[in-house]
Amino acid sequence: MTDNPTKESHMFRSSTLLALAFAVSAFPLTSHAQTNATTGAVFVMTNNASNNQVIAYTRNADGTLTGRHSFATGGRGSGGLTDPLASQGSLTLTQDHSFLLAVNAGSGDISVFHVSGATLTLLGTTPCGGSEPVAVASQGHLVYVVNAGGTSNVSGFHLTSTGALKPIPHSTTFLTTGNSGAASLAFGPDGQTLLVTEKLTGNIDGFSIQANGTLGPIVVNPSAGPGLFGVVFAPNGTAIATETGPSGATNASAVSSYANSAGTLSVISASVPTLAAATCWHVVTPNGKFLYASSPGTGTISGFSIGSTGTLTPVDGTILATLPSGSSNLDIAVSADGKYLYTTDSGSGSVSVFGVNADGTITTLTGVSGLAIEAGYNGIAAF
């Protein structure tokens, strides 16, 4: 036993701190900027008819993409050239970014990947409950897929904590016609509603979701404008749909917003022009402030602010970016932090990158190239 334990303890702590200080000077700690140099990932689906794959990129803190890697889905896509699936949501991340869901339109199944940064691990494939799955959506443990082939339908699954898809008995529900041109589906933010778009009929089908995951009776809502394509929900519960416009019309595409009540929709903003052609894909920022729409007919990105009541107002003249001629920009995604937009550009075999500014305008950043031109790519997801 020492005569002065307090003094000895103090000397021990001092020597320990000195040693740590030396270690830090010899091996500097990683800075906050360095630890956050990579912050997410962006995924693109090849839709290859013989061996469907997902291409993964690391998303850096400045929005740029690096480190391309390919992961087989275990299924077959539909093949084709530009936009063969004619759908929105063929590649979908779960809300917590733990799992990535991919449709295999050729083999009729859904792939589930575990997500670890930009690294994917295939957990398995599950039959889609119909024919030619073109889009998939998730809400918590609930997953629904829309099948465009044969007699078009939607079918439901429970997603387990291990990434297994378990079919929900009696969940398969037919749409209004056998060949409806089903293109997209979306869950309401409260998990109580599922909406499905039909291109050929111009209907937005609404379903209430029952406690066991099955769907209530179909509610058929006519689109506010011609050329219905995709539908998404804003965080405040507003449903927003894209419209390609009347056949043969020039730059007549639009977006419309709706209030939702258990699948019954009422128009808020009707057919607000995108000032573009072939507007199909759209995305809402995580904070619910802005909507961006991709229009391959004019190679443009249009932007709108979303009001608290769901009204849509053009941002800075509507057209916020114009891509190089022949880009054929298709699917669009936004990063989880809401700072960056990404589009798949089928015509140039690239992914375009845009920074999202506080006022809703966007800035063109450096993208990535090297994808096969017009090779049937469909689907993009980001976090």
* 35-80 pLDDT tens trace: 345 689 999 999 999 999 999 999 999 999 999 999 999 999 999 9
Residue 303 is predicted with a pLDDT of 99
Residue 354 is predicted with a pLDDT of 98
Cβ(342)–Cβ(380) under 8 Å? Answer: yes
- Burial class from Cβ neighbours inside 10 Å (0-12, 13-18, 19+) for residue 2 reads exposed
3-state secondary structure of 216: coil
| Alpha helical stretches, state H, the chain | 5-26, 32-35
pLDDT band (50, 70, 90) for residue 227: very high
Q: Which of 29-33, 155-159, 181-185 bottoms out in mean pLDDT, i.e. has the lowest?
A: 29-33
Q: Is the pLDDT of residue 325 over 60?
A: yes
3-state secondary structure of 54: strand
Q: Is the pLDDT of residue 34 over 80?
A: no
Distance CA 76, CA 296 (A): 25
Cβ(287)–Cβ(338) under 8 Å? Answer: yes
Q: What percent of the chain has pLDDT over 70?
A: 90
Which token pair is 298? 């004019």
3-state secondary structure of 23: helix
Select the more confidently predicted residue: 248 or 359.
359
Residue 38 is predicted with a pLDDT of 61
Residue 75 is predicted with a pLDDT of 98
Cβ(185)–Cβ(135) under 8 Å? Answer: yes
Residue 248 is predicted with a pLDDT of 84
Residue 27 is predicted with a pLDDT of 28
Residue 37 is predicted with a pLDDT of 52
Angle at 148 between CA 202 and CA 145, to 5 degrees: 100
- Burial class from Cβ neighbours inside 10 Å (0-12, 13-18, 19+) for residue 366 reads exposed
Residue 292's nearest CA partner among 323, 265, 268, 321 is 321
**Section 347-355 average pLDDT:** 98
Distance CA 77, CA 46 (A): 8
CATH topology for the 38-382 domain: Methylamine Dehydrogenase; Chain H (2.130.10)
The DSSP call for residue 339 is -
pLDDT band (50, 70, 90) for residue 335: very high
pLDDT band (50, 70, 90) for residue 23: very low
Q: What percent of the chain has pLDDT over 90?
A: 89
Q: Is the pLDDT of residue 24 over 50?
A: no
3-state secondary structure of 96: coil
Q: Is the pLDDT of residue 322 over 90?
A: yes
- Average pLDDT in the chain: 91
pLDDT tens by residue, 170-195: 999 999 999 999 999 999 999 999 99
**Domain boundaries, given as residue ranges, for the chain:** 1-30, 38-382
Distance CA 118, CA 32 (A): 21
CA dihedral 369, 375, 376, 379 (to 10 degrees): -20
Residue 5 is predicted with a pLDDT of 40
**Section 267-282 average pLDDT:** 98
Q: Is the pLDDT of residue 4 over 70?
A: no
Alpha carbon 366 to its chain centroid, in Å, reads 21
Q: Is the pLDDT of residue 10 over 70?
A: no
Residue 21 is predicted with a pLDDT of 36
Q: Is the pLDDT of residue 318 over 70?
A: yes
pLDDT band (50, 70, 90) for residue 29: very low
SS (H, E, C) 332-380: EEECCCCCEEEEEECCCCEEEEEEECCCCCEEEEEEECCCCCCCCCCCE
Q: Is the pLDDT of residue 238 over 60?
A: yes
Query: Taking the model in full, what pTM does it have?
Result: 0.90
Distant-in-sequence, close-in-space partners of 20: CB < 8 Å, separation ≥ 6: none
CA dihedral 65, 66, 67, 70 (to 10 degrees): 30
pLDDT tens by residue, 114-133: 999 999 999 999 999 999 99
